[in-house]
Amino acid sequence: MAPPGPAGAQPTSAEPLSRSIFRKFLLMLCSLLTSLYIAYCLAERCQPLSSPVVGSEGAAAPGRGALAGRPSELARWPAGARRKRLLRLQPWRWRRPPAPPSEADGEEAAWEEESPGLPGGPGGSGAGSSVAESPPGTLALLLDEGDKQLPQAIIIGVKKGGTRALLEFLRVHPDVRAVGAEPHFFDRSYHKGLAWYRGDRFPRVLQGSFSAPKSPSYFVTREAPARISAMSKDTKLIVVVRDPVTRAISDYTQTLSKRPDIPTFESLTFRNRTTGLIDTSWSAIQIGLYAKHLEHWLGHFPLRQLLFVSGERLIRDPAGELGRVQDFLGLKRIITDKHFYFNKTKGFPCLKKAEGSSKPHCLGKTKGRTHPEIDPEVVQRLRDFYRPFNLKFYQMTGHDFGWDG
């Protein structure tokens, strides 16, 4: 017979059994909790509050992910938590990102290389897709809600319309952030999906501000209206338009600066010089058929979601045009006359102070090139050719741009 234990320590026959079951239960609970925590962490949900909420969404199918990244998603976070994320973990957000490289330092030049705009060459002949390959200078705007998300406004063109000037002027606004190069998402990289587009394309910027990356023009890309609408039907679209004849010459001048051996403007203009048949497959001509391109956009967006900026007025009265743009984007009217001066040497309006600097700033030498002399008869023929398209465009937009006298 076993000796009795200390008083009170003698377990009943049931006690050791229940204690060991309890211990096992505790152990199992602990391991279960640990596994749950690990699984949770692997799903990237236990990152510090600063981690991009929208970016963790995973691969969204085009047309579906847009809403997930929009303010509604951010609304799930309490305002305090959101503010904390901004303050604690992304101090760089408070700094203005460096200015995007200007034409002078290569970005623009590199971009221009992509669009020789010659028949048969890249961005050259043909309607629709080939024109789409010629990346007209466009800009995408990100109306920011404090985290990564898709653009809420895009400057969709037109190439040589004055898109760079609009971007540089808009950057003066304290609520505007400019970001890196546009990834040609809606024309070339759409297959990569919206999550990729959102990914690292746009910086996280302060709530209430928006960023404006330089981007290709989607105005002449057939697929762009449907794709942008699939991203968000609310996207605001800005088009800088310019007299299509001058625009075509400007386009040609750009190509000529890269390839001095190209045929003359006059010979490229006609399919048959004798009959006077215009070569509408030449992208320099095709891009200027604004009414035709606009029709595609109006199939997906109501007119009120498009703003047409006059390229001519952007030169004559930059503050006036910027006023309209600020209103359209819901920005406070901050950019006014006092921001501009006319630089006689450049022949264009320039900024008294560049964004982030105290020095005056004109656009680089690839903006405001001297155009070659074009045979006046050819210019007249082109004017006649564009007139009906221009009139249609005035009718559609409710605005006479004055290109036809």
- Which residue ranges make up the site for ligand PPS (CB under 6 A)? 136-137, 159-165, 250, 253, 314-315, 348-349, 363, 367-369
Residue with smaller CB distance to ligand PPS, 54 or 167: 167
Peptide bond just before 158 cis, omega within 30 deg: yes
CB atoms within 10 A of CB 204: 23
Min dist. Cβ of residue 265 to ligand PPS (A): 13
The residue sitting closest to ligand PPS, measured at its beta carbon, is 137
Min dist. Cβ of residue 137 to ligand PPS (A): 2
57, 99, 100, 163, 179 from 171: Cα distances, Å: 30, 9, 10, 12, 10
Rounded to 5°, angle at Cα 181 from 111 and 287: 50
Collapsed DSSP state (helix, strand, coil) of residue 236: strand
Min dist. Cβ of residue 213 to ligand PPS (A): 13
* C-alpha–C-alpha distance, residues 298 and 34, integer Å: 55
Residue with smaller CB distance to ligand PPS, 65 or 100: 100
Residue with smaller CB distance to ligand PPS, 53 or 220: 220
- Classify the C-alpha dihedral 372-376-377-381 as positive or negative: positive
* C-alpha–C-alpha distance, residues 59 and 62, integer Å: 9
Min dist. Cβ of residue 259 to ligand PPS (A): 15
151, 164, 213, 224, 391 from 186: Cα distances, Å: 12, 19, 14, 6, 29
DSSP track, 321-377: HHHHHHHHHT------GGGEEEETTTTEEEESS-TTSSS-B---TTSSPPPPP--HH
* C-alpha–C-alpha distance, residues 111 and 216, integer Å: 9
Q: In the chain, count of helices (H) and strands (E)? A: 16, 11
Residue with smaller CB distance to ligand PPS, 225 or 349: 349
Min dist. Cβ of residue 162 to ligand PPS (A): 4
Min dist. Cβ of residue 136 to ligand PPS (A): 5
* C-alpha–C-alpha distance, residues 335 and 327, integer Å: 11
Residue with smaller CB distance to ligand PPS, 122 or 199: 122
Min dist. Cβ of residue 387 to ligand PPS (A): 21
Min dist. Cβ of residue 340 to ligand PPS (A): 8
Min dist. Cβ of residue 198 to ligand PPS (A): 24
Residue with smaller CB distance to ligand PPS, 121 or 276: 121
Q: Which of 295, 323, 321 has its CA nearest to residue 310?
A: 321
Residue with smaller CB distance to ligand PPS, 50 or 336: 336
Residue with smaller CB distance to ligand PPS, 70 or 369: 369
β-pair type (176-177, 210-211): parallel
Residue with smaller CB distance to ligand PPS, 169 or 385: 169
